[in-house]
């Protein structure tokens, strides 16, 4: 579809962009457009006492409807809403869309008014590779239903430059497994993403969020452990340089007995980059015998870089096990001295230490991009 310049977000623009929307969705878009006029921009936090409000001129944004490139196996169903004819499935979408991630601010309102919506369902164990190219401004919303006793691997790669809003809602049925990896490599621009999973009995959801690009990034990942023996891992990795600013949140809500969560965040900052990594584990009174732990570590390569790790625990039951740890620091001088004593230059020694810091990353493209930043 040809790009439409949005000089003023309005209902006429909605109908031009989404002529095939079912009535419930067009009504939802109109409600979001109304909220867009009333809601405030969210406040972004990039450190203790470091706040920012993004100056996004929505009236000059260009929304490009661009379908993602993806590899699809026969065991995955991938729909845009206009392709869905099944009434039962459409009702399921109607009852789920936006309920996990309700509208809270002006950016949310813009997203729900103008996002492209894609629905993913797997029949058997499957893998799905998505590639999103950002041009000017795009908004994507993924609604994912994972069948009982199946495993679904999703990898999304984000490139280009501009503004992207992204929301992901996952329903993980009992005994299912979901592995969701994001590799964000924007050349420049703004990336605003929120992902949430409902994790049912004996289901597992693992998130891996790799953030290398973007000028301003706000990433929030939430797992609601609603079924007994539900499990989640939330693993974040970031490398910021120059003036990049990252606002990273990882949240696990334990709402049933014998649930498990692990939150890890590892990052490196150079030049004037700033980041805040906030982990939250909440264990409700309904979640005895649950376990939650989190570990956050950041390596600073310059005196001007700034990072804050904020691990939080909210515990409403005595019969649980929880722990947290956080560290922020510069390169260890003894390690640096040891490597230089073996014939390496200071720059070579620093590069080796940073590569070792990220050695547990299994993605070859991530490793290569980290090496490029250190060269």
Q: 218 and 107 share a domain? A: yes
Instruction: Give me the mean pLDDT over the 11-30 stretch.
Output: 88
pTM of the model: 0.91
Task: List 163's β-bridge partners, or say none.
Answer: 137, 190
Of 85-89, 95-99, 185-189, 355-359, the one with minimum mean pLDDT is: 355-359
C-alpha to C-alpha distance for 372 and 199, rounded to whole angstroms: 37
Q: 199 and 124 in one domain?
A: yes
Question: Average of pLDDT values for 5-17?
Answer: 70
Q: How confident is the model at residue 324 (pLDDT cuts 50, 70, 90)?
A: confident
Give the count of domains, the chain: 2
Same structural domain, 320 and 346: no
Backbone angles phi, psi at 183, to 5 degrees: -120, 105
Beta-ladder partners of 260: 231, 291
**Poorest-confidence range of 317-321, 323-327, 362-366?**
362-366
Q: How sure is the predictor about 2, in pLDDT bands with cuts at 50, 70 and 90?
A: very low
Q: Would you give the DSSP letter of residue 256?
A: S
Which residue range forms the structural domain that includes residue 75? Answer: 4-330
Identify the weakest region by mean pLDDT among 17-31, 146-160, 252-266, 340-354: 340-354
CA atoms of 57 and 42, how far apart (whole Å)? 14
| Residues 77 and 147 occupy one common structural domain | yes
pLDDT recorded at residue 353: 83
Considering the domain architecture, whether residues 214 and 258 belong to the same structural domain is answered as yes
Question: Exposed, middle or buried: residue 256 (CB in 10 Å: 0-12, 13-18, 19+)?
Answer: buried
Verify that 337 and 324 share a domain, yes or no.
Answer: no
DSSP 81: G
Pair 58, 79 in one domain: yes
Q: Find which of 19-23, 39-43, 80-84, 192-196 is predicted with most confidence, using mean pLDDT.
A: 192-196
Is the model's pLDDT at 6 over the cut of 50? no
The residue-averaged pLDDT of 336-356 equals 82
């Amino acid at each position: 579809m040809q790009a439409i310049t949005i000089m003023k977000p309005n209902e006429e623009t909605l109908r031009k962009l989404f002529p095939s929307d079912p009535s419930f969705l067009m009504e939802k878009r109109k409600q979001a457009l109304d909220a867009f006029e009333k809601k405030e921009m969210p406040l972004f936090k990039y450190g203790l006492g470091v706040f920012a409000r993004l100056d996004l001129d929505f009236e000059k944004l260009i929304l490009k409807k661009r379908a993602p490139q993806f590899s699809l196996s026969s065991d995955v169903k991938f729909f845009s809403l206009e392709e869905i004819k099944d009434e039962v499935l459409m009702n399921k979408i109607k009852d789920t869309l936006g309920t996990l991630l309700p509208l809270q601010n002006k950016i949310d309102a813009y997203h729900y008014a103008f996002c492209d919506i894609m629905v993913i369902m797997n029949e058997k164990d499957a893998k799905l590779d998505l590639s999103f190219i950002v041009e000017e401004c795009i908004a994507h919303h993924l609604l994912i239903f994972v069948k009982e006793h199946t495993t679904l691997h999703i990898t999304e790669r984000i490139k280009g430059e501009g503004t992207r809003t992204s929301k992901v809602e996952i329903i993980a049925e009992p005994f299912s497994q979901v592995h969701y990896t994001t590799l964000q490599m924007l050349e420049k621009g703004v990336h605003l993403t929120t992902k949430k999973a409902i994790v049912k009995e004996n289901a597992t959801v693992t998130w891996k969020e790799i953030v290398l690009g973007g000028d301003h990034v706000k990433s929030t990942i939430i797992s609601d452990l609603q079924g007994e023996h539900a499990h989640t891992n939330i693993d974040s990795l970031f490398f910021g340089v120059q003036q990049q600013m990252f606002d990273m949140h990882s949240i696990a809500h334990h709402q049933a007995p014998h649930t498990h969560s692990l939150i890890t965040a590892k990052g490196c900052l150079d030049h004037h980059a700033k980041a805040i990594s906030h982990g939250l584990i909440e264990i409700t009174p309904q979640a005895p015998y649950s376990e939650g732990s989190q570990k956050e570590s950041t390596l600073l390569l310059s005196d001007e870089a700034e990072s804050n790790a904020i691990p939080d625990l909210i515990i409403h039951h005595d019969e649980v096990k929880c722990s947290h740890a956080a560290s922020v620091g510069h390169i260890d001088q003894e390690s640096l001295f040891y490597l230089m004593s073996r014939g390496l230059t200071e720059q070579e020694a620093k590069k080796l230490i940073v590569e070792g810091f990220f050695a547990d990353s299994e993605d070859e493209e991530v490793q290569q991009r980290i090496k490029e930043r250190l060269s």
